Structure 1
Amino acid sequence: MNQELLYKYFKGTATIDEEKQILDWVEATEENREVFLKERMLYDISLFSDKQDTKQKKTIRLTPMLSWTARIAAVIIIGVCGYFMTADYLYNKDAQLQTITVPAGQRAQITLADGTHVWLNSKSTLTYASNFGRNERNVELDGEAYFEVAKNKKIPFYVNTEMHNVRVVGTSFNVCAYKGSKEFETTLVEGIIDIYTTHNEQVVTRLKKEEFFANYDGKYKKAILPSYEYLRWKEGLYCFDDVPFGGILDKLEKYYNVKITVTSPKLLDHAGLTGKFREQDGIEHILRTISKDHPFKYSINEDKDSIIIYE
């Protein structure tokens, strides 16, 4: 297969006939599929390398931040070895589905074909079609992501989750919707977004700037957001404002890739807690700090992947 044609496909500029030619070639043999995946990984690495060079020449609007480009490059390179980041490609005659999965304890940033920037939080998965942006802009999210959507009034942008779908044209917002959690949260930073229930075209609510909407197991909540501090997970800063102890532990499990067990239910009855921590502080520092206001003890196993909290 011609490499130039493959790169046109990766960029989303291939014609429909060229897409069909490539997909037929991929499905023909397992060897073709492996070549395709290898070329895709090399293409992604080259993109991130180009972005790194660009960032050295100009200031990016979303600052201060961690060295995101370095993180992304690591994600892609180690992903080739099948550990840090995975990309699964499913084929059919219409379009190829691309899936990006971020493991527990990591974060990543990607740019979609239409110019939309997406930050993915720990244990999050984003799925979209290879022809994304040509006739539609749909992504499926399992987890948490922050979107800066490129404006295109002709083609709305949809974020589809287990409980709700979000429709936008061009705006910035955060969505947190892990499958199985029975929780959906979205925060609007700029623009306007409409929220639907999954498989239903009826609008549940419309959010304007600085508004927050949540569905906690069927209980809706809408409010004006007092600050955007909790969105600073993109920078490696974890901010909690009147969050229940159990909610904080759920976040820490994802951020640090550990299993936390609480032996006493009474510890989870504590009122909301407020605090701000840096990712590099580590989970032990965070637990020690919280225990000063909310007394408890904890033990960590030798592999540091399991924590027991007790009175």
Structure 2
Amino acid sequence: MEGLDKEIINNVLENTSSKEEAAKVVSWFVDSIEGQNYLSESMDRDFYLMEENEDQSDLISPIQSATVLAKINKATKRKQLKNILFKVAAILIPFVFIIGMSIYLTTQVGLFDNSNYSEIYVPKGETMRILFQDGSQAYLNSGTKMTYPEKFGLKNRKVFLEGEAYFNVSSNKKRPFIVETDKANITVLGTSFNINAYGNDSIVEVVLDEGEIVLGVDKRSYAILPGQKVTYNKVDGLTSIANLDKSLQESMWRNNVLHFSNTPLLDVVKTLNRRYDIRFVIEDSATLEYTYTLTSKQTSIEEILLELEKITPVKFVLTGNKVHVNL
């Protein structure tokens, strides 16, 4: 634990430590992945014990009245929940913890429903990587917007996405990771997957590389297996699942690689528009009948257009910040 003594950590969590020890442990919780994982596991363990105690209520003598039994159970549960909330407070309000003030947790703290959200937008032509406080990662593609809480809640880890992203999610079955889009949501228990859900596209695509996810759309749920791709059509509501030979190809954009597999020209144009922030003008509708299969590491729009011209008769003429498409 990077030199931190377990006894000191326990003293801090039990509010019996010195101010210096508290400051050191809180800094470890906030600034290190190891500290965040330690706190999360400790909270999960306490929740588990709470659930176990609920199932052991018959250990109290049946001679006791229902009123006494209710008081005992309520007091026990309140003490356990206080311990859990105190641990959460170490991250959510460390400044109170550090100066040694008493902490009074109420429903206004927002531990179960965090209302403090941040929003990030990735401009066209750029990509971005985000590291969450639980160790999970998200790679955001061009033209993507994500809204996420400053701190994840106790019940789940939820973010809102419009665009394309690849997630590596830290496993925590008691606090599922949830990605919500305008028409679908993905519940994750610990996995790696790619989701394409741009607001102006008619479909949502999710590709699972490893782990376990559940796609929820129109009050229906679909369990997805590694190597599968699920496609949801926002117009007609149809959902399909396909097995992929190479699922990782769907997220090659993370490594600045363009990949098309029998992709219609219109979708190719949308991808290039987001990646290069350049406008395409379709001057001949007949060009939309063509599809493209291509994997390219070329970085300039000029080189990409030359490769596309080798595949079909379609011509791409670059003028300034505009590409004219014709036969």
CA shift digits 1:183-227 (9 cap, x unpaired): 1000000011111016x4x31x11011011012333322100121
Contact 2:29 2:91 in 1 (8 A): no
In structure 2, relative to structure 1, the CA distance for the partners of 1:10 and 1:296 (3 Å cut) is same
Question: Quick one: distance in 2 between partners of 1:16 and 1:95?
Answer: 16
Q: CA deviation at 1:96?
A: 1.3
CA shift for structure 1 position 251 = 0.6
Give the SS at the match of 1:289.
helix
2:229 counterpart of 1:212: yes
- Distance in structure 1 (CA, Å) of the matches to 2:180 and 2:227: 21
User: Equivalent pairs: percent with the same residue?
Assistant: 27
1:292 is displaced (CA, Å) by 2.2
Specify the alignment match of 2:205 in structure 1: 185
The answer as to 2:237 corresponding to 1:221 is: no
> Are residue 291 (structure 1) and residue 309 (structure 2) matched?
yes
- Distance between the aligned counterparts of 1:103 and 1:10, measured in 2? 29
2-structure distance, mates of 1:186, 1:151: 19
Are residues 163 and 94 of structure 1, via their aligned partners in 2, closer, same or farther at CA, if it must alter by over 3 Å?
closer
2:241 aligned with 1:241: no
Alpha carbons 2:114, 2:152 under 8 Å: kept? no
Alignment check: 8 A CA contact 2:114 2:153 kept: no
CA distance in 2, matches of 1:299, 1:275: 19
CA RMSD of aligned residues (A): 2.7
* Distance 1:103-1:15 versus aligned 2 partners, 3 A rule: same
Whether the 8 Å CA contact 2:125–2:142 is kept in 1: the answer is yes
Q: Report 1:84-99 matches (<5 A).
A: 94-99=114-119
The whole-number CA distance in structure 2 between the counterparts of 1:273 and 1:266 is: 15
Amino acid of the residue matched to residue 308 of structure 1?
Answer: H
Q: 1:99 to 1:14 in 2, by over 3 A?
A: farther
CA distance, structure 2, for counterparts of residue 186 and residue 152 of structure 1: 21
CA deviation vs aligned residue, 1:288-309 (integer Å, no higher than 9, x gap): 221122112233233xx22111
**TM-score (normalised: structure 1):** 0.67
What residue in structure 2 maps to residue 90 of structure 1?
none
1:107-146, aligned counterparts within 5 Å?
107-146=127-166
Give secondary structure in 2 for the equivalent of 1:293: coil
CA separation in 1, counterparts of 2:308 and 2:175?
46
**Shift in Å, 1:19:** 8.7
Instruction: Write out per-residue CA displacement over residues 62-94 of structure 1, whole angstroms, 9 at most, x where no aligned residue.
Output: xxxxxxxxxxxxxxxxxxxxxxxxxxxxxxx95
Q: Give distance in 2, aligned partners of 1:235 and 1:194.
A: 26
| Worse-matched range after superposition: 185-194 or 282-291 | 282-291
- TM-score if structure 2 supplies the norm length? 0.64
Mapping 1:57-76, distance limit 5 Å? none
Amino acid at match of 1:273: Y
Letter in 2 for 1:213: V
For 2:173 and 2:230, locate their aligned partners in 1 and report how far apart those are by CA, in whole Å: 24
